[in-house]
Amino acid sequence: DTAVSQTPKYLVTQMGNDKSIKCEQNLGHDTMYWYKQDSKKFLKIMFSYNNKELIINETVPNRFSPKSPDKAHLNLHINSLELGDSAVYFCASSQYPSGPTGGIQYFGAGTRLSVL
């Protein structure tokens, strides 16, 4: 039973379209994250929610909007997709963001987004 699952795994779409990526965790964690892994393989935090409240909102185009209907779900909606949005997007969750081990995050398998 997958702890952090995100769908779809692959997403191929045209420029200008709107798309969503869904993420669900069954670990009972309070905090969820969205990361973007760019072409240089850096993992960059985009957003973080704690108990449905936005706590991290990095410099991300406002075409990206996270939605957390409950603490087990954090979806990512992207409007007017651009070529530069092509990347792998990872969802993650954690229970103790500043606990004794430093806030271990558990990741989904990633969604590879290709914008044509």
Partner 1 sequence: DQQVKQNSPSLSVQEGRISILNCDYTNSMFDYFLWYKKYPAEGPTFLISISSIKDKNEDGRFTVFLNKSAKHLSLHIVPSQPGDSAVYFCAATVGNYQLIWGAGTKLIIKP
Quote the CA–CA distance of 44 and 89 in Å, as a whole number: 10
Q: Which of 4, 21, 78, 115 binds partner 1 (CB under 8 A)?
A: 4
> How far out from the chain centre does Cα 30 lie?
15
Shortest distance, position 94 Cβ to partner 1, whole Å: 8
User: How near is the Cβ of 16 to partner 1 at its closest, in Å?
Assistant: 28
Please give the distance of CA 14 from its chain centroid, rounded to a whole number. 20
Contacting residue, 19, 22, 44, 73, with partner 1 by CB under 8 A: 44
The residues, any chain, with a CB within 8 Å of residue 4's CB and separated by 6 or more, are: 23, 24, 25, 27, 91, 92, 93, 106, 107, 108
- CB-nearer residue toward partner 1: 4 or 115: 4
Candidates 11, 21, 29, 31: give the one binding partner 1 (CB under 8 A).
31
97 binds partner 1 (CB under 8 A): yes
